[in-house]
Structure 1
């Protein structure tokens, strides 16, 4: 009900970057179907301004083609059950080391 206000610095200090190759396919999947879903992205310039990418329930998103860091904000609404906001920091790299 009373969501705290988070600064960009707060979000970045609590969000770990995920290394992905350019144009990686990202799937968004919830255990319940969201009534509303909005996906926004901020680029590496300052992470303060988000641009809406999807205003519906997408099957997947495609990571940017250019190397750099991108912050995604995923807002999902579940009717009377409430809503949630996730942040995802992608580090798009030309080459990604294999997972250990």
Structure 2
């Protein structure tokens, strides 16, 4: 269902961009898991808007949308941008942010 919603909101060009992001060298990218504090069932369009609003990351770079029991997690693949990195780290309150490199995830 989320994929269908996502396909309605994001153009075909954006989908090819996502594939490019995934294929690009792992070292150039960081993976951000962003808990935007929303409940299950929120629309993909709203998730994309929130991702852009909270992090300043282009929604076209959103790689995966996962809905957990209590919240909506948005995984965003983006260029390693120190400003974005700092903005994510400074987010407080209900917006809990897990920042990890793809390399560290592979080592696990």
The reply to whether TM is greater than 0.5 is no
Structure ID, larger Rg: 1
- Name whichever structure is richer in strand by fraction: 1
Alignment TM-score, normalising by the size of structure 1:
0.31
- Name whichever structure is richer in helix by fraction: 2
Alignment TM-score, normalising by the size of structure 2:
0.29
